[in-house]
């Protein structure tokens, strides 16, 4: 059986490059790119803390300091679910919605250019393969 190590390494390195590119180009007006991501997901309706953690590929406890900060700065509020106190529901405040409207979406220009340069057929193929991998790992 062939080793998957080179492919895994390539994906990890690529993910780090994309993240670095996006962070370098993100003007979050005081929000980090990760804080923005949590706030954006909560605003989209992913209001359960554990669901947001899963969607962002992190463990729920690692979101606690991010949510604490967002709550302390008035971007969202959290409360326990009335039927299941283990669930934490996040609700974006008016202030949080306003900052999301003001912020341009994050971009990773180097990544975006590289993907555009692949051409339409390769882009579709890459998207399909990455989608399949994501499904199989989830």
Q: What is the CATH number of the domain that holds 97?
A: 1.10.10.10
- Residue 137 forms part of a structural domain: yes
- Residue 64 forms part of a structural domain: yes
> Same structural domain for residues 41 and 96?
yes
Q: What one-character DSSP code corresponds to residue 104?
A: P
> Same structural domain for residues 48 and 99?
yes
> Same structural domain for residues 34 and 82?
yes
> Same structural domain for residues 34 and 84?
yes
- Residue 36 forms part of a structural domain: yes
pLDDT at site 130: 93
Question: Mean pLDDT across the stretch 30-51?
Answer: 90
- Residue 42 forms part of a structural domain: yes
pLDDT at site 41: 93
pTM equals: 0.79
- Residue 10 forms part of a structural domain: no
Per residue in 72-93, pLDDT (tens digit) is 999 999 988 888 888 889 999 9
Q: Are 55 and 138 in contact (CB under 8 A)?
A: no
> Same structural domain for residues 80 and 133?
no
- For the chain, how many structural domains are there in total? 2
> Same structural domain for residues 112 and 98?
no
> Same structural domain for residues 81 and 99?
yes
Closest CA to 32 of 106, 88, 112: 106
Q: 116 is in which domain, residue-wise? A: 107-138
> Same structural domain for residues 43 and 91?
yes
pLDDT at site 82: 86
| 49 contacts: CB under 8 Å, gap ≥ 6 | 60, 63, 67, 78, 87, 88, 89, 90
With a cut of 80, say whether residue 138 has pLDDT above it.
no
pLDDT at site 46: 65
């Amino acid at each position: 059986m062939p080793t998957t190590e080179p492919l895994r390494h390539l994906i990890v390195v690529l993910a780090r490059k994309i993240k670095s590119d996006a962070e370098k180009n993100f003007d979050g007006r005081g929000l980090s790119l990760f804080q923005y991501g949590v706030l954006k997901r909560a605003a989209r309706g992913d209001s359960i803390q554990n669901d947001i953690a899963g969607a962002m590929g992190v463990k729920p406890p690692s979101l606690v300091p991010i949510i604490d900060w967002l709550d302390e700065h008035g971007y969202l509020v959290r409360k326990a679910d009335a039927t299941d106190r283990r669930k934490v529901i996040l609700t974006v405040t008016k202030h949080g919605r306003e900052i999301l409207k003001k912020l341009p979406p994050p971009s990773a220009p180097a990544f975006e250019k590289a993907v555009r340069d692949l051409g339409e057929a390769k882009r579709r193929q890459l998207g399909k393969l990455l989608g399949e991998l994501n499904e199989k790992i989830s």
